[in-house]
Every structure is written in C-alpha cells, then in structure tokens.
C-alpha cells in the first residue's frame, strides 16, 4: 500500500496505525460499541452472521432489499441489539443512505447471487464494489466480504462447477475482490484506518459453530475443505477484533476436511474427514481466535 502510515502492531488488543507527521493514530479494530451492518441478512450465511453478532453482544443492522428480515419477524432474534434496514447491494444509493448513520463500525457483505439465482455480476462484483465505495465514502472502519475458496483457480473442478451453476459467479467474485483490494490500496484509506477482510470459505454445511480450534486458515488458494455457515459467521464477526485481519484475504475450512484444491471437490462430496498431508506453508491454526488470526500476511 502507498501512503505515509506505518503499522505499529499486528495482533495486540488495542492495535493502532500511525498517521502523518503529527503522530495521530487510528484503531485497526472495530469498537464493540459500534453497530455492524449485515448485507444479505435473509440468506443462510447472513442469518448466521446476525446470530454471531448478537452472541458477541454487538449491535447489528440486519438488511435486505425490502427491509423485512425473516428472523426478526419470526421473533427468533433479540430485538435489544438488532434492527432492520433497507439495503440493495445493486443500488449504491441505498447503501450510502444506510451507512450515513454515525455509529456503524463495520459492514459484512454476506449477499450473493447464488442465494436465489440472481445476477452474479450485479451482486458478487458490482454489489461488492458498491459496498466498498459506500464504506470508504462514509469512513466505515472495516468491510468484511464473504467470497469463495478456489476463486483464483479457474482450472479446478470446483471453480468450473460453481461458475457454471452460478452463471459466472466465480468470475464475478474474483473481479469484485481484486477491485476492492485496489480501492483500499489508496493512501487515503490507509491514513484513515479504513480496511477490509476477504474470507474465502470452502464448501458450506449446516450446523452449529465448532469454533476456532477446529478451523484452518490458509493463504494462496491451494487448499480447501468444508465448514459450517455458522463458523463462517464467527470468522466474520471475530475478525473485527484483530488488527491481524486488517487488509487480508484468507481461505477457511475445518482442518479435518483439508484437501488440495485439485481433489477437494470429490472429498467434499464424500464428506471425507481424512485431512491431506499437503502443507502450503501458510496454514494458520489455533485454540483461540487470536491464535488463529495471528501471522496472517497482509495483501499489500
């Protein structure tokens, strides 16, 4: 990244970014007092993100194109910490209007065209760019994007299948990712402490979160596996507490399901729990979120 700022710490509880000659500092984590917006809260992963935020005691703005949130309407969610909002990721105007609220600390992009067979380019590429633009213009400290494992591996069987079924969704996702990284590489974002986290989950399953200790993170998009939507949500929420996840991209899956990208498709179909012996050298594991996130390499 460009600019005159320099990272002082990677994973301390109160990490800061030095800015300018005056020594002004800004936090690289998202304060617990700030609300977190979930885009696509009616989807499977979005709903789990709402659950995880409430479990963490964080205020949440759950959004959909209509403003009607199924979980809230059915009374499943606590109304003390969560409220609904209107946000259509294909409309920058709706995102901008929503993010003008002063207490928002992060946005989780859990929307996807795959949810209801939508337009992949409109949602997974342009929608991501709309969210990034709105976050930057409104000085939102962190944007978390739920993408996909193997998104950089067009020759892999998993990529080909998902891209075909999703009508170009993998192409849209990587184009969206790349554009976001370029947007946040600007010096102004760095000086203001505005950043992103791109999370690339493997095959998604149902069920409760197993927590940090059962997960493996990787960087390089050469390994994948399976994990629950609940664990993806936990990653989205807990990454807000750590500077080590600021401006990073990583893959995630249960350690027991890890396979090289070339063979993960069959492994997922067979629901294998025989982890690969292949080591990329960039794996991260730990018994806590702090340990799991420690040592992630920045994109820039």
Within a domain: residue 188? yes
pLDDT digits 0-9 by tens, 266-293: 999 999 999 999 999 999 999 999 999 9
Instruction: Supply the pLDDT for residue 76.
Output: 58
| Domain carrying residue 37 | 29-293
Within a domain: residue 299? no
Q: How many domains does the chain have?
A: 1
Rounded to two decimals, the pTM is: 0.92
Instruction: Supply the pLDDT for residue 158.
Output: 96
Q: Nearest 5 degrees, angle CA 5-CA 293-CA 232?
A: 115
Among 121, 116, 2, 138, residue whose Cα is nearest residue 65: 116
pLDDT digits 0-9 by tens, 85-127: 999 999 999 999 999 987 999 999 999 998 666 899 999 999 9
Query: Could you tell me the CA-to-CA distances from 3 to 12, 184, 191, 193, 197 in Å, in that order?
Result: 23, 11, 7, 12, 20
**Sign (positive or negative) of CA dihedral 77, 55, 110, 143:** positive
Q: Is the pLDDT of residue 75 over 50?
A: yes
Within a domain: residue 262? yes
Q: Is the pLDDT of residue 6 over 60?
A: no
Q: Which residues pair with 217 in a beta bridge?
A: 252, 284
Within a domain: residue 8? no
Within a domain: residue 23? no
210: CATH: 3.40.50.720
Count of other CB atoms within 10 angstroms of residue 103:
10
pLDDT digits 0-9 by tens, 155-210: 999 999 999 999 999 999 999 999 999 999 999 998 899 999 999 999 999 999 99
Q: Is the pLDDT of residue 264 over 90?
A: yes
Report the relative pairing of strands 203-205 and 104-109 from DSSP bridges: unpaired
Instruction: Supply the pLDDT for residue 26.
Output: 77
- Higher-confidence residue of 7 and 90: namely 90
Within a domain: residue 268? yes
> How far is the C-alpha of 87 from the C-alpha of 94, rounded, in Å?
5
Within a domain: residue 9? no
pLDDT digits 0-9 by tens, 201-242: 999 999 999 999 999 999 999 999 999 999 999 999 999 999
Chain centroid to CA 30? 14
Within a domain: residue 151? yes
By the 8 A CB rule, do 124 and 88 touch?
no
């Amino acid at each position: 990244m460009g600019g005159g700022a320099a990272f002082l710490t990677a994973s301390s509880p109160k990490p800061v970014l030095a800015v300018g000659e005056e020594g002004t500092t800004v936090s690289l984590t998202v304060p617990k007092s700030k609300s977190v917006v979930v885009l696509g809260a009616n989807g499977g992963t979005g709903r789990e993100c709402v659950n995880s935020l409430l479990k963490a005691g964080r205020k949440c703005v759950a959004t959909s194109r209509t403003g009607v949130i199924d979980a809230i309407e059915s009374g499943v969610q606590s109304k003390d910490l969560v409220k609904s909002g209107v946000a259509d990721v294909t409309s920058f105007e709706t995102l901008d209007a929503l993010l003008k609220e002063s207490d928002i600390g992060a946005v989780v992009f859990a929307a996807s065209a795959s949810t209801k067979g939508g337009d992949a380019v409109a949602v997974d590429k342009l929608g991501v760019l709309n969210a990034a633009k709105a976050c930057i213009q409104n000085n939102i400290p962190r944007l978390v994007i739920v993408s996909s494992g193997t998104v950089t591996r067009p020759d892999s069987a998993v990529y080909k299948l998902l891209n075909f079924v999703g009508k170009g969704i993998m192409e849209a996702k990587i184009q969206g990712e790349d554009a976001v990284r370029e947007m946040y590489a600007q010096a102004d974002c760095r000086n203001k402490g505005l950043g992103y986290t791109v999370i690339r989950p493997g095959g998604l399953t149902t069920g409760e979160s197993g927590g940090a200790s059962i997960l493996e993170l990787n960087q390089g998009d050469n390994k994948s596996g399976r994990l629950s939507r609940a664990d993806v949500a936990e990653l989205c929420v807990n990454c807000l507490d750590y500077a080590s996840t600021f401006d990073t991209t990583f893959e995630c899956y249960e350690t027991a399901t890890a396979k090289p990208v070339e063979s993960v498709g069959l492994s997922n179909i067979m629901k294998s729990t025989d982890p690969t012996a292949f080591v990329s050298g960039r794996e991260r594991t730990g018994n806590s979120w702090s340990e799991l996130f420690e040592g992630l390499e920045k994109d820039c």
